[in-house]
Amino acid sequence: MDTARILLLDAAPGELMARELDRLLGHGLEVTLNLRRVADHAGARDAWGDRVEFTDFDAFDESALTAATVHGAQGYDALKSRAGVPLRAGFLAAATDPALVRPLRVIGRAGAGTDHVDLPAAARHGVTVTHTPGSNAGAVAEFALAQLLALTRDLPAHNATAHRGVWRAPAAPAAQLSELTLGIVGLGRTGSALAGRAAALGMDVQGLSRQHRAREPARPVRSLTALLTTSDVVSLHLPLTAATRGMIGRAELALMRPGSILLNTARGGIVDEQALADALRDPGHPLAAAAVDTFAHEHAAFESALAGLPNALLTPHVAGMTRSAMSTAALHCADHIAALLGDRPDGIPVVSA
């Protein structure tokens, strides 16, 4: 077969797109770029029109995604996703139809999470799923630390009142970080990166891992209950799986210390958003505030029971969006896809069902 073809559902943003396209083309791949999330369509066409093909569709619309991928019975050997476009069973069946000239063989995610892919369906249809674990660990850890600092010092409220021309002194002095215990749920690359940064600022850090052992500087905690009842700030750093979906619900929130804070930069489905919203509305609840960067429904489908709550700091899934993290993810993802298409799987991170 001639040169493998790849469809970029969403290229790296800004100037990073050029580096990503150069890397893919350098691997000898034929590239089709979806312009829907590209800021400068005309500039992209002028710069790359003689080297790549273009399309323009909403990848979050499954019918549009399927039509673009099937592409008149031509198909693509690989897809690359950055923003977590849902790739479900129906789409995977259509994209791997043997009648296509190029049935889909590889899905690449420029990021760590792959919960947007129906992994059992991908396995059934012979599609290999690769990702870039750890590429944004430092970025997400920094963001969680920023959330922590913003809420422990009540920065959103002070900012809002100052903009209204009101001089608002705190009712009581805030605690310094060295007075607080941080509980980290999930001590993989990101959780461990946060532990190191928080400990350097003087926090007492404890953690819960799936193997029930912690890495320095986090002290090990044997259960989620033990962590929730002994932490002033709880930060989540877990993948979304059947085991972690709904892990933090009403019962778990009720266990938290009075005046505590919850941080979620992991996945929205880990936390019951309605239960969290109800807790934040209740002045008698031990939970004082929460910072949430990931939601059960995102992008055009975004909605949350947390919207409008003054003690909920909400951001649109941007924790990992730094230049360094996104460049690493995009380039590593390009390398992984090329290696898998070239039947060179050794050392390439692959996600199984």
Which position among 267, 273, 332, 336 bears the catalytic label? 267
φ, ψ of residue 150 to 5 degrees: the values are -60, -40
Our CA angle for 143, 289, 210, nearest 5°, is 60
C-alpha closest to that of 23 among 321, 336, 324? 336
3-state secondary structure of 206: strand
Distance, CA of 248 to CA of 270 (rounded, Å)? 6
Burial of 172 (0-12, 13-18, 19+ CB in 10 A): exposed
Q: Is 317 a catalytic residue?
A: yes
C-alpha closest to that of 34 among 90, 20, 331, 136? 20
Q: Is 267 a catalytic residue?
A: yes
Q: Is 179 a catalytic residue?
A: no
CA dihedral sign of residues 247, 249, 254, 258: positive
Which position among 19, 62, 298, 299 bears the catalytic label? 298
Which position among 189, 317, 332, 336 bears the catalytic label? 317
Burial of 191 (0-12, 13-18, 19+ CB in 10 A): buried
Q: Which residues are catalytic?
A: 267, 298, 317
